[in-house]
Structure 1
Amino acid sequence: MDFVIDDAMQGYIDAAAEVATQIAPAQQQREQDRVIAPELRRRMGELGLIAPELPSTLGGRDERALTSGMIAEQIARGDLTVAYVQIISSLVGQVLVRNARPEVAADWIPRITSGEDLVAIGLSEPGAGSDAGNPSMTARPERDGWVLEGTKSMSFAMDARAAVVFARTEPGRRGKGITAFLVELDRDGIRRRRAPDLGTRAVGRGYIDFSGTWIPARNQLGELGEGFTQVMQGFDFSRALIGLQVIGTAQVTLEETWEYTGTRTAFDQPLSSFQGVAFPLAEAETLLAAARLLCQRTLWLKDSGLPHTKEAAMCKWWAPKTAYDVIHQCLLSHGQNGYLTDRPIEQRLRDVLGLQIGDGTAQIMKLVIARHTVDRELAP
């Protein structure tokens, strides 16, 4: 395995770290406003911090997937929700590169990498989260295009300019007869509703209702009836990115906690001098280092053109759980000060919790791991 950081990657890491420093003070304000400012997205785009692994011919930087992960980790140190811009854009960008018509990809991908526009992804539905292979949303052919009916839930539902959505185009068993489409969200028959979420409020998660929404045939992504199989491959990449995203948030919280326990005294000694305080933090350092290596290895496998579905599932269930447990321990180590809402720890705890759900629950990820480890008839 080669995790060598070359000069180009280091440049992106340094730029992302600088952005993280700049955005951290306004983390709580973004939660209150429930939006990530467009000018912040554009700044990230100028620095090459949005989907840099995409082809330079389409606005990317021809970078490695590993570079993309390093960027996500650094930005999440300043605000986990801002790192969503990079992660969703990488996921959607790769979907469009592989499945969109050339003229559609050439139109939308530069907008994504520049930060000019957000494109969301609508796989889940209000009544079917983990059962994404059996959508109730439908698409029927009409007037040289398709008419969409149904509802999708997604991050950036309130702010995205377009969305990749999955709809049933023909009867079939679970995972079959599903087609993916790119839908501009200013079309007729579209209504947006905000979700009153516990955390990650700045990403504007919500529901988009499609009622008689027509799109042209050119907006179809990939082959008819094969959308679920084709597009789901991109989630292996985003799951590793999410792992590094939550690790970045947990790591900065841990660093703050070491500093706090080294300056706060009890019984005439620094808190960090007590084993009961220091040992849980030492365990947290170990767990985060292990989770980071797992995610980096997964991205290295992707860069090497090697299978990484099982490893990506490991990243997705274990890294968010580990990050949540670490931030929880840090909050407790701060005592009553950690419980205050004018400090960022409680917000980080809520934000990371959501990623134990979104993009695949732990139970689904463990099912993926089992089915890639033993014969399918022996797995759950």
Structure 2
Amino acid sequence: MDYSLDEEQDAFRTEVRRFAEKVLAPHYQSDDKAAEFRRQLALDMAGLGLTGLRIPEEYGGQAATAVIAGLAAEEVGRADFNATYVIINTALISDVIVRNATDEQKAAWLPGIADGTTVPCICITEPGHGTDAASLELKAVPDGDGWKLQGEKTSITLGMAADRAVVLARTGGPGARGVSAFWVDLGHESVGRAAFDDLGSRAIGRASLHFDGTPVTRADLIGNEGDGFVSVMQGFDYSRAIIGLACLGAAQASLDEATQWARDREAFGQPIGKFQGVAFPLAEHATYITGARHVCLEALWKKDNDLEHSAEAAMAKFWAPKLSVDVIHQCLLTLGHLGYSTESPVGQRLRDVIGLEIGDGTAQVSKLVISRDLLGRAYAP
């Protein structure tokens, strides 16, 4: 068993870290204050290939492994947590398109994602259906050779900024098999958007989207009619591990800052790191971060090797965001009044990471997946 990164992975991680520190970090707090998504962010990330990580080379992408995508998310998360949503969204959506779209659709859709000119989002959650996504109500009403979308999606990451969306809509009867996936132009006049005023991650433009007769054709259908829910859900397992690493990146950055402060700050004639009350919480959280990182990387490694990874992805999703919130909170306390100031990014990281304790699958659902894997479906909730 080899726990080290190979030469290519290590070089990539170093390159992304340098890029993130130089290009992304300077905008982290100002983007939060502006509370809007900068289009240049996607273009800058595309310049390093970060928007096309999971896209085949023939469509302008990097054809990178899931592990590479996770490493990128962690390094970007250290510098600008909200920029990781660009990696998370493009990786998940590209994976759905690559696995289910026709060659003609891939050629039309993927290059724009890869070069950063198309900012995508995914529309699943509705006002009455979050975790119970298979019961979604947005309808695709037959209209000639296509459909018209009617209904609302809510809590959509990048919803205010996205150009295109993978939209799950009901084309058939109740349940998962009545749901189809469409690639939808959000610039159409029938699409309305309403922004949220959020506690954190204000730069990603979370929004509700209203579809009032939005036309889609069979050329916009991803995969077969009725297969949309299953095809999209299959991508969420590994994307949840990427989310975990993004959160851990923000936690690691905070821990690094708190650790340096424990060396530099003196009280009672010595560095505060000399006091067990300061040093031990840092040691505990360094241990937890290391463990959570291994869980995330194991899930991604299993994805790359075509192994079942649902349980590991669920572990990553419920543990890493919660742990990261706890780590960042402790680091803020270690930094004291400096950490509490808005001049420090620590408080913003805390606000931002909390959002992923909710989004993309709650802890309760993750624990349900784990318990069924552990106990067997007949003996679990």
Give the TM-score of the pair, scaled to structure 2: 0.96
Q: Could you tell me which residue of structure 2 aligns to residue 312 of structure 1?
A: 313
- The CA deviation at 1:143 is 2.0
- The CA deviation at 1:103 is 1.6
Which deviates further from its counterpart, 115-124 or 348-357?
Answer: 115-124
Does the CA contact (< 8 Å) of 2:332 and 2:347 recur in 1?
Answer: yes
Change (3 A) 1:238 1:51: farther
Pair 1:10 & 2:13 matched: no
Does the CA contact (< 8 Å) of 1:51 and 1:87 recur in 2?
Answer: no
Which amino acid in the other structure matches residue 357 of structure 1? I
Which amino acid in the other structure matches residue 156 of structure 1? L
Does the CA contact (< 8 Å) of 1:190 and 1:210 recur in 2?
Answer: yes
Q: Could you tell me which residue of structure 1 aligns to residue 132 of structure 2?
A: 131
Q: 1: distance between equivalents of 2:366 and 2:377?
A: 15
Q: 2: distance between equivalents of 1:228 and 1:136?
A: 13
Change (3 A) 1:110 1:4: farther
Q: 2: distance between equivalents of 1:125 and 1:110?
A: 29
- The CA deviation at 1:373 is 2.5
Q: Could you tell me which residue of structure 1 aligns to residue 162 of structure 2?
A: 160
Q: 1: distance between equivalents of 2:47 and 2:3?
A: 26
Does the CA contact (< 8 Å) of 1:12 and 1:49 recur in 2?
Answer: no
| Structure 1 gap segments, 5+ residues each | none
Which deviates further from its counterpart, 146-155 or 101-110?
Answer: 101-110
- The CA deviation at 1:334 is 1.2
- The CA deviation at 1:8 is 3.1
Q: Could you tell me which residue of structure 1 aligns to residue 172 of structure 2?
A: 170
Which deviates further from its counterpart, 140-149 or 348-357?
Answer: 140-149
Q: Could you tell me which residue of structure 2 aligns to residue 20 of structure 1?
A: 20
Question: Number of matched residues?
Answer: 379
Q: Could you tell me which residue of structure 1 aligns to residue 182 of structure 2?
A: 181
Which amino acid in the other structure matches residue 17 of structure 2? A
Corresponding residue SS for 2:71? helix
Which deviates further from its counterpart, 326-335 or 43-52?
Answer: 43-52
Does the CA contact (< 8 Å) of 2:52 and 2:60 recur in 1?
Answer: no
| Structure 2 gap segments, 5+ residues each | none
Q: 2: distance between equivalents of 1:110 and 1:374?
A: 44
Q: 2: distance between equivalents of 1:377 and 1:311?
A: 20
Q: 2: distance between equivalents of 1:25 and 1:149?
A: 41
- The CA deviation at 1:2 is 5.0
Q: Deviations over 1:271-293 (max 9, x none)?
A: 11100000000000000000001
Q: Could you tell me which residue of structure 2 aligns to residue 259 of structure 1?
A: 260
Q: 2: distance between equivalents of 1:88 and 1:53?
A: 11
- Percent identity reads 44
Does the CA contact (< 8 Å) of 2:146 and 2:218 recur in 1?
Answer: yes
Matches within 5 A, 1:50-61: 50-61=51-62
- The CA deviation at 1:197 is 1.1
Q: Could you tell me which residue of structure 1 aligns to residue 69 of structure 2?
A: 68
Q: 2: distance between equivalents of 1:232 and 1:322?
A: 25
Does the CA contact (< 8 Å) of 1:167 and 1:179 recur in 2?
Answer: yes
Q: Could you tell me which residue of structure 1 aligns to residue 291 of structure 2?
A: 290
Q: Could you tell me which residue of structure 2 aligns to residue 41 of structure 1?
A: 42
Does the CA contact (< 8 Å) of 2:54 and 2:94 recur in 1?
Answer: no
Which amino acid in the other structure matches residue 14 of structure 2? D
Q: 1: distance between equivalents of 2:361 and 2:287?
A: 25
CA RMSD of aligned residues (A): 1.4
Q: 2: distance between equivalents of 1:261 and 1:34?
A: 33
Does the CA contact (< 8 Å) of 1:148 and 1:210 recur in 2?
Answer: yes
Which amino acid in the other structure matches residue 201 of structure 2? T
- The CA deviation at 1:248 is 0.5
Which amino acid in the other structure matches residue 33 of structure 1? A
- The CA deviation at 1:53 is 3.1
Q: Deviations over 1:45-66 (max 9, x none)?
A: 1212224232111222122110
- The CA deviation at 1:179 is 0.9
Corresponding residue SS for 2:134? coil
Give the TM-score of the pair, scaled to structure 1: 0.96
Q: Could you tell me which residue of structure 2 aligns to residue 81 of structure 1?
A: 82
- The CA deviation at 1:4 is 4.6
Which amino acid in the other structure matches residue 217 of structure 1? R
Q: 2: distance between equivalents of 1:139 and 1:149?
A: 6
- The CA deviation at 1:251 is 0.1
Q: 1: distance between equivalents of 2:3 and 2:41?
A: 29
Does the CA contact (< 8 Å) of 1:192 and 1:206 recur in 2?
Answer: yes
Which amino acid in the other structure matches residue 10 of structure 2? Q
Does the CA contact (< 8 Å) of 2:123 and 2:168 recur in 1?
Answer: yes
